[in-house]
Amino acid sequence: MVKMMKSEYDFSHAVKAKFYTPVDQIEIPIYLDKAVNDFYKKAALSRKIDLSQMVNSILKKEMEIHKDLTPGE
């Protein structure tokens, strides 16, 4: 069964940009390899912290090590 479009639609009660999210607020999912995920999940569990906290901490340290890679910052 094919549904046809109506000849008119009522947008008088529509909300502009109801589902809009600014680009700088979009969370991008990061997928870890299984071995990496398992390793850091175990390490985070032993330290009683969240996996995201663990990975962010490591990445922040990496940023400090490699700060010369982004000139002007």
What is the Cα–Cα distance from 67 to 73, expressed in whole angstroms?
A: 8
SS3 50: coil
Mean pLDDT, to the nearest integer, of 19-42? 94
Residue 70 has pLDDT above 80, yes or no: no
pLDDT at 26: 93
* Domain boundaries of the chain, sorted by first residue: 32-69
DSSP 8-state class, residue 23: G
pLDDT in tens, 50-62: 999 999 999 999 9
| CA 73 from centre of chain | 23
What is the Cα–Cα distance from 51 to 43, expressed in whole angstroms?
A: 8
Mean residue pLDDT of the chain comes to 92
pLDDT at 39: 97
Confidence of residue 72 (pLDDT cuts 50, 70, 90): low
